[in-house]
Amino acid sequence: MKKIALITGATSGIGLGCARKFAQGGYDLIITGRRQEILNEVENELKEIGADVKTLCFDVRNREQCKAAIDSLEGKWNTIDVLINNAGLALGLEKEYEGSYDDWDTMIDTNIKGLLNMTRMVVPQMVKRNAGHIINIGSVAGDAAYANGNVYCATKAAVKTITDGLRIDVAETAVRVTNIKPGLVETNFSVTRFHGDKEKADAVYKGVKPLTGDDIADVALYAAQAPAHVQIAEVLVLATHQANGSTIVRK
């Protein structure tokens, strides 16, 4: 029987890249997102690759929706082998004392609470089966704050700490836990951060070749397919001309 991976935020960017790579790697997929029409499009694409697909339309920020979605799974879909907590975003690039309360709430509720919601609802069955893998998509931003990154950086620092804590909590089991920390990745990330201003978003990648969602998906699949005794605990993935969260050489 094929293994099953559940990917949050699978309709674009890193999440979509992971869905494609895991389908190509022989997994069946549970894909989640907030837009059913986009989930349907992704489902059709993944089925053409050869994967069986289940779509769940809900917002990871909403605990009741998370629970209802997981509780709705039946049959083989109840056995989730890999949970990829990918859903996340950055909003705004203001100084901390000028930041938007709404942006803060959205980032904290999605990047931290959403990840916790899914972890709480999926990992117990992994522990019970003594098998499974949680892959959290963190960020280089979680290693050190950069100018005007304040709250976003804090949420990704929380992802690192939460991931490390979970790894300790399940160390007595065969469940594995991975934190993947991308650097500059060209997705809709910057468009979202600048509230739809594509000109500002494009400037983020000017003069440097950034990573793609597929690049990060390659790392996630490698971690998932490592031998059972190998736990890829943490991976920092940067563009070649990026040294850390704030040092990027543009040419």
Reported confidence tier of residue 1, pLDDT bands at 50, 70, 90: confident
Annotated active-site residue in 27, 101, 152, 205: 152
By the 8 A CB rule, do 6 and 33 touch? Answer: no
Q: At 4, list the tokens.
A: 């099953």
pLDDT in tens, 148-169: 999 999 999 999 999 999 999 9
Catalytic residue list contains 152 = yes
Helices 213-225 & 13-24 angle (0-180, nearest 10): 50
pLDDT, the chain, mean: 96
Instruction: State pTM to two decimals.
Output: 0.95
Distance, in Å, from the CA atom of 238 to the CA atom of 184, rounded to the nearest integer, reads 7
pLDDT in tens, 104-123: 999 999 999 999 999 999 99
pLDDT at 199: 82
